[in-house]
Homo-oligomer: A and B are copies of this chain.
Amino acid sequence: MGSRRFLPPVLLLLLLSVIASAAASQSLLRMISENQASGDSDGLYCDSWRLSEETNNAGYWGTIPARCLQFVAEYMNGDRYALDSDVVAAESLAFAQTVQVAGDGNDVWIFDVDETLLSNLPYYAVNGYGSEEFNETTFDEWLNLAKAPALPASLRLYEELLGLGFQIILLTGRVEAERNATEKNLSFAGYHSWTRLILREASDIGKTAVAYKSEKRAQLEAQGHRIHGNSGDQWSDLLGSPMATRSFKLPNPMYYIQ
A33 within 8 A of B: yes
Q: What is the minimal beta-carbon distance from A90 to any residue of chain B, in angstroms?
A: 4
A1 within 8 A of B: yes
Residues 42-62 (chain A) with a chain B CB within 8 angstroms: 43-45, 47-49, 51-52, 54-59
Residue contact B29 to A153, C-beta cutoff 8 Å = yes
One of A81-89, A134-142, A166-174 at the interface: A81-89
What secondary structure prevails in chain A residues at the interface with B?
helix
A32 within 8 A of B: yes
Number of this chain's copies in the complex: 2
One of A101-109, A114-122, A179-187, A242-250 at the interface: A242-250
Q: A1-B40, A44-B83 are in contact. Are A57 and B27 (CB under 8 A)?
A: no
Q: What is the minimal beta-carbon distance from A83 to any residue of chain B, in angstroms?
A: 5
Q: A27-B93, A90-B29, A93-B27 are in contact. Are A48 and B249 (CB under 8 A)?
A: no
Q: What is the minimal beta-carbon distance from A43 to any residue of chain B, in angstroms?
A: 7
Q: What is the minimal beta-carbon distance from A155 to any residue of chain B, in angstroms?
A: 11
Chain B residues within 8 Å of A57, by CB: 87-88, 91-92, 248-249
Residues 22-76 (chain A) with a chain B CB within 8 angstroms: 27-30, 32-34, 40-41, 43-45, 47-49, 51-52, 54-59
A207 within 8 A of B: no
A49 to chain B: closest residue by CB: B87
Residues of chain A at interface, number, CB under 8 A? 50
Q: What is the minimal beta-carbon distance from A186 to any residue of chain B, in angstroms?
A: 20
Complex CA–CA separation, A153 to B156 (angstroms): 41
Q: What is the minimal beta-carbon distance from A93 to any residue of chain B, in angstroms?
A: 5
Between-chain CB contacts (< 8 Å), 12 pairs: A2-B44, A29-B157, A32-B86, A44-B79, A45-B87, A48-B80, A48-B83, A48-B86, A49-B87, A52-B87, A54-B54, A57-B91
